[in-house]
Amino acid sequence: MKKHNFYAGPSILPEFTKEKTAEATMNFAGTGLSLMEVSHRSKEFVAVMDEAVALVKELMNVPEGYSVLFLQGGASMQFLMAPYNLLNKKAAYLNTGAWSKKAIKEARFFGEVAVVATSEDKNFNYIPKTFEVPADADYLHITTNNTIFGTEILTDLDVSVPLIADMSSDILSRPMDVSKYDLIYAGAQKNLGPSGATLVIVKNSALGKVERPIPTMLNYQTHIDNGSMFNTPSTLAVFGCLQTLIWLKDQGGVEAIEKVNIEKATILYDELDRNKLFVSTVPIPEDRSRMNVTFVMAPEYSELEKEFLDFATVRGMVGIKGHRSVGGFRASIYNAMPVSSVKALVETMQEFEKTK
Ligand SMILES: *Cc1c(COP(=O)(O)O)cnc(C)c1O
């Protein structure tokens, strides 16, 4: 039976990425060796890193004066690397969910944190729109897509201080104006490739301003100076990211994929608004994530939750159980998710409705 992969992360990847990576694990770039056995300093792997960096710059339209890095430690390491490198005295954070909270917790090791707004009062089911950023903050940190709570900031904010964004779950899903950010980071395993790589895009001129000494491995400058090869990068993960970037360019880039992402999200949210059994957990349409669609049974049908999960599972739906802090269901519909899988989920919901 066809499996429809709605996992939140690690998550669905293009067939192209999987095929090319599988081939390279046996014979990488004609070397007769596995990608896993080849030196990261070989010309074959250096070409992979260079092409991946160049494609990120091309697809995201990264301006001059920015560095693109592939690091390790996940987005969670960026929660501390960002303030280590950029927070002198005080930073501002927008609290839109579990990942924002974790970023805030790490920033507090480095200085004062001003939480400018939070949507915790409604279990993070909306994006706060009006907030004031202290003029003396070194930066404002935002989480553009809230993977767990199904909300997303779909515009590049205009703020008076430098902007930092955790884009782990919506990087490359739509055009973004990189010039508005001093730092962007994203764990690869949502929209980019296998787990084990973290994409970082940093404005060079933002660095070197904090007073504290920074350990070598946690200093962005180290990785800029060494082309993400100060130590051994995750060669397999970076290779996988490159394949997805090649695939994305072939799809027509971020403008084209955004259209598909809007189509997929519209199909699913329209069904949630129509089907009497289900409701979206995000009532405000403009706050709804195009990447992670969270929903629950309507109150009068709440006892059907387990039954629907089983009903969907036998029809090939994988990974739709909601995160424990929201309950219900979550369909993650990242770039690689075909429209046909979203339609299959919607048909399953309609079929289930008919049985009630
Ligand atoms: C998954 C996720 C993280 C954590 O990523 P790791 O790579 O596991 O550290 C952080 N932020 C967001 C928005 C995420 O979706």
Alpha-helical segments (H) within the chain: 15-26, 43-60, 74-86, 98-107, 220-225, 235-251, 253-274, 305-313, 339-354
Cβ–Cβ under 8 Å, residues 251 and 257: yes
CA Rg value for the chain = 21
Q: What is the structure's pLDDT at 52? A: 98
Ligand 1 centroid from CA 123, angstroms: 19
Atom 13 in ligand 1: residue holding the nearest Cα: 168
Q: Which atom of ligand 1 is nearest to the CA of 77?
A: 9
Q: Which atom of ligand 1 is nearest to the CA of 189?
A: 7
As given in the structure block, the two tokens for residue 260 are 């598909």
Mean pLDDT of the chain: 98
Q: What is the structure's pLDDT at 171? A: 98
Give the DSSP letter string of 23-42.
HHHHS-TTSSS-GGGS-TTS
Cβ–Cβ under 8 Å, residues 34 and 214: no
Ligand 1 centroid from CA 77, angstroms: 10
* pLDDT tens digits along 35-87: 999 999 999 999 999 999 999 999 999 999 999 999 999 999 999 999 999 99
Hey, CA dihedral for 300, 303, 309, 314, is it positive or negative? negative
What's the average model confidence in pLDDT over 103-117? Answer: 98
β-strands 66-71, 278-280 pairing: unpaired
Catalytic residue list contains 190: yes
Could you tell me the pTM of the whole model? 0.98
Q: Which residues line ligand 1 (CB under 6 A)?
A: 9, 74-76, 99, 143, 147, 166, 168-169, 187, 190
CATH number of 15-250: 3.40.640.10
Cβ–Cβ under 8 Å, residues 126 and 287: yes
d(CA 318, CA 12): 11
* pLDDT tens digits along 178-210: 999 999 999 999 999 999 999 999 999 999 999
* pLDDT tens digits along 250-298: 999 999 999 999 999 999 999 999 999 999 999 999 999 999 999 999 9
Beta bridge partners of 149: none
Q: What is the structure's pLDDT at 87? A: 98
* pLDDT tens digits along 131-177: 999 999 999 999 999 999 999 999 999 999 999 999 999 999 999 99
CA 303 to chain centre: 32
Q: What is the structure's pLDDT at 30? A: 97
Q: Give the residue extent of every domain in the chain.
A: 4-10+252-354, 15-250
Q: Which of 138, 166, 182, 287 is catalytic?
A: 166
First to last CA, the chain: 25
CATH number of 4-10+252-354: 3.90.1150.10
Ligand 1 centroid from CA 120, angstroms: 19
Catalytic residue list contains 343: no
d(CA 221, CA 96): 29
Catalytic residue list contains 247: no
Atom 10 in ligand 1: residue holding the nearest Cα: 75
Ligand 1 centroid from CA 43, angstroms: 31
